Amino acid sequence: MDYKFLKTENRKDHIGILTISAPKSLNALNTVILTEINDYIDNLDESIRVLIVTGDGPKAFVAGADIAEMKIKNAQEALEFGEFGSSVFKKIEDLEIPVIAAVNGFALGGGCELSLACDIRIASENARFGQPEVTLGIIPGFSGTVRLTKICGMAVAKELIFTGKMIKADEAYRVGLISKICPLENLMEECLKMAGAILKCAPIAVKNAKASINKVYDVTRDEAIKNENNLFSECFASEDQTEGMSAFLEKRKPVFNNK
């Protein structure tokens, strides 16, 4: 599929970069862009072990969903739009590989929700986050009430969603929404550095760690612990576990299978 609003890069170091590119609308999400993202995720190159998601231009990661498109929807059409956007973001969250959001400006509404679907969020100093939907007479529709609550807690989620206010990067860091802040010109470098640190680790271990963490909120505590135990033991059937522990005992750096 040829993409009109996406730029993609598969680097030789097993890092993929997905750039949402509709700078005239500050990369606002519409059905076409969501369809392109959905196709990209469905056909993600198997060589990619870490994916970085960002927005085109210095002003916005994604400034929200396309309000002009949403304004004319009826309740049934809105349900279908919300379900589609949520399903695309769930695919991102459920990818076996880590996904890093390089938040390079406004991450509002659907843009904030997209960043929440990523595993790690690194933001530039000019980044701004918010769920302003209540100021438009609606609520977040792409799972924002769910993920913001899980990541930042109920009190923070209610304040941001009930007021629709926008917060700066330093406040986003304080409430646990992002992991790191850096100058805009260093943002991709910081994300690549983070990806590089992940790539030094055993692929099977990173995959299973993500699967275990993602399961925590979906099941009871005891079920989550059992799931972790199973994923832990599964690692012991891998070449990576043998190599990792052998390298430690032999006082050398491990060489993991990058497949």
Q: Return the beta strands (E) in 40-193 as ranges.
A: 50-55, 60-62, 99-103, 106-108, 120-124, 128-130, 166-168, 180-182
What are the residue ranges in the chain where pLDDT is below 50?
Answer: none
Q: Which of 80, 113, 159, 223 is catalytic?
A: 113
133 is an active site residue: yes
pLDDT at 259 (0 to 100): 53
pLDDT at 257 (0 to 100): 80
Give the pLDDT confidence of 86-120 residue by residue, as tens digits: 999 999 999 999 999 999 999 999 999 999 999 99
Round to whole Å and give the CA distance between 189 and 191. Answer: 5
The pTM for the full model equals 0.94
113 is an active site residue: yes
Q: Which of 133, 185, 189, 250 is catalytic?
A: 133
Cβ–Cβ < 8 Å for 164, 130: yes
pLDDT at 109 (0 to 100): 97
Q: Taking Cα atoms as reference points, which of 3, 30, 32 lies closest to residue 19? A: 3
Looking at residue 49, what DSSP letter applies?
S
Q: Is the dihedral of CA 219, 118, 130, 124 positive or negative?
A: positive
Q: Taking Cα atoms as reference points, which of 123, 120, 258 lies closest to residue 201? A: 258
pLDDT at 105 (0 to 100): 97
pLDDT at 218 (0 to 100): 87
Structural domains for the chain: 6-199 (3.90.226.10), 203-249 (1.10.12.10)
pLDDT at 258 (0 to 100): 61
